[in-house]
Structure 1
Amino acid sequence: MPTLSQACHTLLLTAGLAAASVAGAAPAKESKNVSDDPYAWLEDVTGERSLTWVKQHNAKSEAELTTTPQFKQLESDIRAILDSDAKIPGVEKIGDYYYNFWKDKQHERGLWRRTTLAEYRKDKPQWETVIDLDALNKTEGENWVWHGADCLKPKLQGEKPARCLIALSRGGADADVTREFDLTTKTWLKDGFFRPEAKGGLQWIDRDTVYVFTDFGKDASGAGSMTSSGYPRIVKEWKRATPLADAKPVYEGQPTDMYIAASHDHTKGFERDFVSRTLAFYNDELYLRGGDGKLIKIDAPNSASKSVHKQWLLLELREPYGAAGQTYAAGSLIATKFDDFMAGKRAFTTLFAPSDSTSLAGFSWTQNHLVLNVLDDVKNRLSVLTPGEGEWPRSEFTGAPTFGTLGVAAVDADDSDAVWLTATDYLTPTTLSLAQIGKRPEVLKTMPAFFDGTGNVIEQHFATSKDGTRVPYFLVRRKDLKLDGKAPTLLYGYGGFEISLTPAYSGSVGKGWLEKGGVYAVANIRGGGEYGPRWHQAALKANRHKAYEDFAAVAQDLVARKITSKEHLGIQGGSNGGLLTGNMLTQYPDLFGAVVVQVPLLDMKRYSHLLAGASWMAEYGDPDTADWEFIRTFSPYHLFNAQRDYPPVIFMTSTRDDRVHPGHARKMAAKMLEAGKDVRYYENIEGGHGGSANNAQAAHMSALAFTFLWNELSE
């Protein structure tokens, strides 16, 4: 069972502020410096003046970029890729059925549907529609976007699960509602569990009881129920057919915490309840909830990722950990029996220990095994461990592909040793296989080629950063590329929150860039997770500049290899990657010919006061303290110099982004435009932090970015 804190980390800038308005984005909190900001009015997300400004600049960008036949063709091509019926429908096993959420041209908001494994093996399975989101929107006059389903597991083998908790978001915002759905009748329960719009969730305990963590409003003393990051601060136990106001408090965190939640482990014979207190990213506490309701802390390091599966406790370490006379290295995965640990015993078995070139990309339990996924110089390797006393027996994963990025997920960890195995790279369409541990995988689905990549090749190179660190990056180029420095080249990066960038097939990148003859590069800079915690921690807070030095080094290496030159080199990044490209724009303007900045953080003085920003202070620091002295060195909004020349730039965001405030992009664009710089701006009205709420919007925004880059870099 993954812990709730792990889920928060996986979502990355995902969980955020509870909606304070129907618009889904809360007004910005005041801070002492906002009155000094002439563009602060653009933080009013849905204000008339702000939206008038947005529409005005959207129109200018549209007029420049969208009127040509080439744009319309590219948008159409990308839309066709996104809508394609030939995409692989990923499935989740619930009872006897395999469920999939699917969007295409006829179903813009999507279908939640199901089939059997026998049907799924076919080229064209027969699907049974469970929820038609477009039809629901039409009936209810809403603009719901799918946020997922949590279905109550059957207690008896073969028993069909009857109830699910469905999360729906208005327009793609992070704030959502949770409604109860009957899988047997395929109807919404009128008197079922319902969580009003906020950021938070419901988790099943049993058929008539859930954990609820959400915005409960203010108590009698006037205290709110959300953290300063805007996440749930209180978790309660809620009985069916009782008012939410009567739900029983389970745990209350501090206002300065990040996220409080709870879950029930339904594993037969190992039923347990857990409460998760996340103080900050990679800083959490996990509690076992006893039958009497008392909480017992699992006394493992806050920095460790803690997970419990059956009788085992696993710790994924981000700092060295000393126990029973041994010290385990940061980046290790260690295991012990859960009951022994709770009884005070601290003897662990090392399941993975990092080397200079390896890190743990993830792990997945099956009924009898644990599959490890390891990155070795950003290339995946799989192995199988069998739990037992002492050293766990280890073997290679039978039949695992030797190319590209590999992903492993259990089909049903309680009842099977089967896993879903995906394989992909930049030029090879994704394949999905069904693999029984110890047997060769059965290829079930293969994504078609959405672009002609036959003339291209994938390479891995290493650049040398300012402090001598070797920084890997991937390069996709034509085999016959002339090394004359003239190739239009797009460099992508992220570099934060221990997220690794590994090769993946993208029809949009292929159609919008590679097929035109462009070169595509992806930088594995510090701040990411490519080499485990050490790679991430090397670029935290005062060391943030190292991520930007790494990215600059990759850009310079591309030029040194005569792949491209400044005039033909463009960059792109979103969210934390938008902060990256914002810093490259302001700190290294002489390296690039065009910059795409998407759903970005840019005003690092205000970021912790805007929406979910306070939750990221473990990554960047607290700008309201002495930390500002180093934060100001990577705040693009403050680094901008009206007297300096900058490359052409487009800022792209979403009005409905209630995670990273659209004010970041708005204010930066306004400041640069007033100074007469070469700036474009586009804000999608829907879409949340992902930027788009349906395939049409996603295709339009991708075509805008690629068209802008090609116009600037191919001349």
Structure 2
Amino acid sequence: MTDQVSDVTGTDPYSWLEAIHDETALSWVREQTARTESELYDTSFDQQVQQIKTVLDAQDRIPMVSKRGEYYYNFWRASEHRLGLWRRTTWQSYLSDEPQWEILLDLDALAISEGQEWHFAGSSLLRPQGAEPYERALLRLSPDGGDQVRIREFDLSSKSFVEDGFDFPVAKTHASWIDRDTLLVGSAGSEQFTTRSTYASTLRRVGRGVKIEDAPVIFEVKKDHVAAFGYFDSTPGFERVITTDAIDFYRSRTGFILEGAHHVIQVPDDVQVSLHRQWVLFAPQTDWEHQGQILVAGSLAIARLETFLEDGTIDKVLFVPDGSNALEGLSFTANYLLLTVLQDVASQVRVISLTENFNETLMPLADPMLNISVGAVDDEDETAVDDYWMTITGFITPTTLLRGTVGSHGTVVKRSPDRFDATGLEVTQHFATSADGTKVPYFQVAPENLVLDGKNPVLMDGYGGFQHSMTPGYAAAMGVGWLSRTNETDRRAIYVMTNIRGGGEYGPTWHRAALREKRHRAYEDFAAIAEDLVARGVTSREHLSATGRSNGGLLMGNMIAGYPQLFGAISCGVPLLDMKRYTQLAAGHSWIAEYGDPEKPEDWEFLRTFSPVHRLSDQPHPVDDYPATLIWTTTSDDRVGPSQARIMAAKMMDLGIKNVRYHEPEGGGHAGSTDNESTAKMLATSYEFLWRKVH
């Protein structure tokens, strides 16, 4: 092989690695994977895997639930149930220390009976008539942990799959109940009805016993759009089909089909629209002028749907960002709207009354270093119409689950025990100055008596894309696998979570600041934080490691190719790395709005500047400057695909860059794992590689 990669004039000598299941490519994958495992998988590694798996399997972790009717549903994996149990219990039982669970489906037993392993990917229950119990469900089952699923109809009474019931073959499919004998289905099961982004281009009304391809199309989008998304809203009094034409990742058109008529909400394509009962919410991604009023990017407005359709009246702008905050999430109870807001990446919850002129109050929260999330329990249950779930978590604070009623303090329902010894650790927030002068926040989890002499082993974590916010949370596996480590001089491992541009920590403007041709700002932010850690004396290059997955893997690729002198080791997981070919692989076409279109010369001009496999040639560094690098993915990743990781690793090796390792197990999809054991092994592989290089 040569050290060239594909460009507008040449051919790609690594194209053979794109054939995911080609035996020649797989032979290379197996050889590299075996090499990595032979170096890492020893007694120390096995101990790490076991410690992480013990945490993941812990029987006293909080079983999070969803309420449907009188039951609370949960999916649970443990050592004796590797594939997991789908189960339910009553409220009184759930409140006890040892709830009595009714097992609906044992996935391990199913694997034995059917001779194939299925991985649980979610459920959708059919709303019953009146006070009748829930009887039917649609189960999403993945064969390998990827995005493609088989959807099967399940009987809750007999606890078995319905004979001759709804059963859709493995594909990128979504479905919702219209009634007992009818579903709304979008499926990319055939090329004819699949977008370039590999998602469904149609929504169909599928009757019992009718094949998808024979069912009538009720909604369709163009093939160069991302997808046709939709669901049937079965809320009593508001029954309708909700449709979304996802033009790209940030532009869409939302509407609803009622009595055969399709009503599209007429707003700019970059205004996100959501419907709930009689309400419609608007979240503009850029400033939106509407009837003489400017709704700034990142704000949230509410209107009565019927009135808005008539004359465009907006009732109230509920949230306006001030430059230091962003709307993170929302949830409706019967009479309130709960808004989760990030204030300099610290959580607060605002309560909006839907019955008292949208009056606003603030839920009192104790610690700004904790992450809070809230959600309605069941706004249709007369005994719980304004009840909410609240989870509170932090880097070194185990998760607590509360339940409350709006207007009163929540009561603790479950509390997770400590999973690792955090004695002497503290969480602090810092701000680094990026290349353009922007202040970029990051969290640091480190000993209270930290010695600032540059000798502390540090793991940086980053993402910086798709308006995804990185927020504090109790990651027990990370605590066991990283924060619990000490080196031979008794220095404890330090963890740093970065909040770089491209994310959503400060709303759409923070995200758009690193969009497309501005992408370099995300990488400058991450590099600035690395430099700040060194300048503060926290660490030095030889003790600094970094990790990221997916878009975070692209971040790591740009650290490798653009800033290799800053890091001692990098773990680059399920990554995008070849920005010339990414739109032609897996679901890559759907991300053009985020990165740009390499088929357009004017876009390729800037895309090439953050395409790691090209930067290796365009901006070469001495081979000894590159950090120890672990590039990893899975063969079954059907979102990004494994070929980009393969190509980057192969090229680095061909360039003579030492200490490059590659790892690619078969199963796990884009998540990287399918069960607790494979999750423990995936995490331990990354942690162990990094620790051995920088401790």
Residue number in structure 2 paired with 1:692: 673
Shift of residue 311 of structure 1? 1.1
Q: Is the 8 A contact 1:332 1:351 kept in 2?
A: yes
Matched letter for residue 525 of structure 1: I
Q: What displacement does 1:87 show?
A: 1.2
Specify the alignment match of 1:215 in structure 2.
188
CA distance in 2, matches of 1:510, 1:217: 44
Q: Specify which of 9, 26, 32 is matched with residue 57 of structure 1.
A: 32
Identity %: 45
CA deviation after TM superposition for structure 1 residue 265, in Å: 1.2
| 2:590 maps to 1:623 | no
Matched position secondary structure for 1:449:
coil
Query: Residue 687 of structure 1: CA displacement?
Result: 0.2
- The answer to whether the 8 A contact 2:459-2:545 is kept is yes
Matched, 1:107 2:85: no
CA contact 2:188–2:198 (8 Å) conserved in 1: no
Match of 1:167 in 2: 140
1:18 is matched with: none
In structure 1, distance between residues paired with 2:473 and 2:117: 30
SS at match of 1:509: helix
Mapped contact 1:398–1:439 kept (Cα < 8 A): no
1:25-77 CA distance string (max 9 Å, x none): xxxxxx9969711111111111111111111111111111111x321211110
Mapped to 2, the partners of 1:483 and 1:245 lie a distance apart of 65
Q: Where do residues 222-371 of structure 1 align in structure 2 (5 Å cutoff)?
A: 224-291=192-259, 293-371=260-338
- Cα distance, 1:143 vs structure 2: 2.0
SS of 1:110's equivalent?
Answer: strand
Aligned to 2:3: none
Q: Which has the larger displacement, 435-444 or 496-505?
A: 435-444
Kindly indicate whether the alpha-carbon contact (under 8 Å) linking 1:367 and 1:413 is maintained by their aligned counterparts in 2.
Answer: yes
* 1:461 counterpart = 2:434: no
Report 1:29-108 matches (<5 A).
Answer: 36-67=11-42, 69-108=43-82
Residues of 2 paired with 1:668 and 1:636: CA distance? 8
Residues 93 and 484 of structure 1: CA distance in aligned 2, closer, same or farther (over 3 Å): same
Residue 400 of structure 1 and its aligned partner are, at CA, apart by: 6.8
Q: How does 1:282-681 map to 2 (within 5 A)?
A: 282-291=250-259, 293-388=260-355, 391-397=357-363, 403-415=369-381, 416-516=385-485, 517-626=492-601, 627-641=603-617, 644-645=622-623, 646-677=626-657, 678-681=659-662
User: Letter of the aligned partner of 2:134 in structure 1?
Assistant: P
2:488 alignment partner in structure 1:
none
What is the rounded CA distance, in whole Å, between the counterparts of 1:386 and 1:81 in structure 2? 41
User: What is the CA distance between 1:573 and its match in structure 2?
Assistant: 0.1
Q: Kindly provide the CA deviation profile for residues 427-454 of structure 1, in whole angstroms up to 9, marking residues without a partner as x.
A: 0000111111111111111111111001
Equivalent pair of 2:67/2:377 in contact (CA under 8 Å): yes
Tell me the residue number matched to 2:489.
Answer: none
Contact 2:77 2:85 in 1 (8 A): yes
SS of 1:103's equivalent in the other structure is strand
Q: What is the rounded CA distance, in whole Å, between the counterparts of 1:413 and 1:276 in structure 2?
A: 24
How far apart are residue 484 of structure 1 and its match? 0.5
Q: Distance in 2 between matches of 1:103 and 1:400?
A: 32
- 8 Å CA contact 2:369, 2:472 repeated in 1: no
Q: Which runs of 4+ in 1 moved over 6 A?
A: 31-35
Structure 2 partner of 1:10 = none
Alpha-carbon distance in 1 for matches of 2:24, 2:88: 46
Q: When the two structures are superposed, what TM-score results if normalisation uses the length of structure 1?
A: 0.93
Contact 1:608 1:614 in 2 (8 A): yes
Q: Which residue of 2 aligns with 1:23?
A: none
User: Which residue in the other structure is 1:221 paired with?
Assistant: none
CA contact (8 A) 1:286 1:297 kept: yes
Q: 1:111 to 1:34 in 2, by over 3 A?
A: farther
How many residue pairs end up in the alignment?
Answer: 675
Q: Spell out, residue by residue over 1:472-522, the C-alpha distance to the aligned partner (whole angstroms, 9 max, x if none).
A: 000000112211000000010000000000001111111111111111101
Q: What is the SS of the residue equivalent to 2:228?
A: strand
Which segments of 5 or more consecutive residues in structure 2 lack a partner in the other structure? 1-5, 486-491
In 1, are the aligned partners of 2:549 and 2:575 still within 8 Å (CA)? Answer: yes
CA distance in 2, matches of 1:676, 1:712: 19
Structure 1's 636 and 403: CA in aligned 2 closer, same or farther, altered over 3 A? closer
Q: Report if the CA contact (8 A) 1:493-1:551 is conserved.
A: yes
Distance 1:324 1:59 in 2: 63
Could you tell me whether the CA contact under 8 Å between 1:684 and 1:692 is conserved in 2? no
Report if aligned partners of 2:461, 2:496 keep a CA contact under 8 Å in 1: yes
* 1:429 aligned counterpart, secondary structure: strand
Q: Distance between the aligned counterparts of 1:295 and 1:400, measured in 2?
A: 47
Distance 2:123 2:366 in 1: 30
Give RMSD over aligned pairs.
Answer: 1.5
Give 1:123's aligned residue: 97
Relative distance call for 1:191 and 1:400 in structure 2 (3 A) is farther
- Displacement of 1:398 in angstroms is 5.7
Compute the displacement of 1:424 (Å): 0.5
| 1-structure distance, mates of 2:441, 2:15 | 39
Q: Report the Cα distance in structure 2 between the residues aligned to 1:33 and 1:189, rounded to whole angstroms.
A: 53
